[in-house]
Structure 1
């Protein structure tokens, strides 16, 4: 399960996941890793599988895990989503089917056709990262920062205003208004957890001595062309370029 990939449209990063804790975020990303490129088909998995995907450290009973799963979808439904092209604001019903069975310890989900574009047919403008790396982060702020940093993995730089940063990471108003609290409760866990992982550096920007925004820089990545296992290749001796390796079955000869 260490190679599970989460991949979604960059538009999803504009949604502030209010009232989500670290476990809710792990539940959501674990589900996202399995429903991507599945269209609106129902995807089922066991609680045991979900625990593995989440790399769950807490010893939650099936009932407790079921509560977290239900809470995750309830929090999604409480959010609003604005379509970029029409300006319509609708309830963020990402899933049309969301069935949690504590007795059977199973979960079945189906993506809403209206939001299927967030998780399907993604060829450009998408965020991609390893689920295990995300799940290993402890702080909800580190997790929320991490997935947005991955949106800018090619450039290795994310410039954002203080207000928008606090909105996206759902920082409480009382914390956002006090720089000391913002540093201690939000930026500190981000630096401690994402710093070594991403090679993260933070430049604070000021306007008239007031903290106005941030420039985050981190290691650049070259995203893979496809998520599937790469085609085995060898270097052609005479041409000096890479070619697909031909697979010849035993007993079959070229003519």
Structure 2
């Protein structure tokens, strides 16, 4: 199963997503991932992307996959809510008034998408009021925001899409996005009012409500171990939070007004550290492993599988079709090719024998 990584510029986190449900957040970030890996094909517009019903259906779990009405409803809700979401930017501009130039600071509010169309197949093309069957959606990215998704410079957020979708609760997902961009620092402090706004917490919630209904459930989710792609993961190890007063000192039991909230966790290792550890682990495995006849037989069997196509369901219950390319004996990963997205991906296994068994099962139709 491909480990799909969703990347987007950190400025995206400043966009307010009002009252987005779990399903709507899942769909939105899956669309962002697809936009990054797709080429515009709709009306020859370089900023417009088309997703048919089948494409959207695959983004949902099985209970929604073939339900036109439910998927249409979610897309319509996403369209309605996203055009309520805005992004405010400050930029210096020069105005020319009466032949005089004036430096000003412009506060502009812009939408990420300029168009979000729901597409239908009508019974009669000439009857504009006759909608028959939901066909898909088209999205046009605002050129001013293209850098958020497509121009990923040094300042970007990275998270595994499957990990994000596996999380339960809209507050948990929002907190996950906000903390992931600080994954290598191990902490983040929010102003309390800013935190309430970002999380879209109702004004009626008391401190105890926020603790019991939002923060504690979110921490349970974000510190739980999950098995994704045959690998055990914890989104944020040892994650905890502390409410702080105006001096950024701990505020036990709310004796003073809460002015800040601080989250702390075990920081993620940078890529260089991970690669160094991986090289050491591979070297150790090669040094300690003595080839056997089973290894030889496994290699012979695998030669028969190269170039064949297998079908399987990933962790999102989405059907994938992949061509078997090769097996990396150093990292124990199966190299596959997905024709639909024109992209290679790896599936980790304990060893080549396990990979052969998995391929054989898929060829027999065992999902």
State the TM-score bracket (shorter-chain normalisation): 0.7 to 0.9
CA deviations 1:7-31 (Å, max 9, x no partner) are 1111111122112111111111111
Separation in structure 2 between the aligned mates of residue 113 and residue 219 of structure 1, nearest angstrom: 38
Separation in structure 1 between the aligned mates of residue 111 and residue 87 of structure 2, nearest angstrom: 5
Aligned with residue 115 of structure 2, among 80, 86, 96: 96
Other structure's SS at 2:91 match: coil
* Counterpart for residue 243 of structure 2: 204
Is 1:107 aligned to residue 110 of structure 2? no
Contact 1:204 1:215 in 2 (8 A): yes
Judged with a 3 Å threshold, the aligned counterparts in structure 2 of structure 1 residues 158 and 99 are, in CA distance, closer, same or farther, namely same
* Counterpart for residue 193 of structure 1: 221
Measure how far apart 1:41 and its partner are: 4.1
* Counterpart for residue 26 of structure 1: 26
Separation in structure 1 between the aligned mates of residue 262 and residue 241 of structure 2, nearest angstrom: 6
Separation in structure 2 between the aligned mates of residue 80 and residue 11 of structure 1, nearest angstrom: 12
Is 1:142 aligned to residue 172 of structure 2? yes
Q: Structure 2, unaligned stretches of length 5 or more?
A: 41-45, 93-105, 122-132, 225-233, 247-254, 273-281, 284-367
Contact 1:153 1:221 in 2 (8 A): yes
* Counterpart for residue 72 of structure 1: 78
* Counterpart for residue 260 of structure 2: 213
Q: Structure 1, unaligned stretches of length 5 or more?
A: 226-233, 236-255
Separation in structure 1 between the aligned mates of residue 195 and residue 72 of structure 2, nearest angstrom: 31
Separation in structure 1 between the aligned mates of residue 181 and residue 33 of structure 2, nearest angstrom: 16
How many residues get paired?
A: 225
Measure how far apart 1:73 and its partner are: 2.0
Judged with a 3 Å threshold, the aligned counterparts in structure 2 of structure 1 residues 19 and 29 are, in CA distance, closer, same or farther, namely same
* Counterpart for residue 289 of structure 2: none
Measure how far apart 1:78 and its partner are: 1.4
Runs ≥4 in structure 1, deviation > 6 angstroms?
A: none
Asked which structure has the greater CA Rg, the reply is 2
Judged with a 3 Å threshold, the aligned counterparts in structure 2 of structure 1 residues 56 and 166 are, in CA distance, closer, same or farther, namely farther
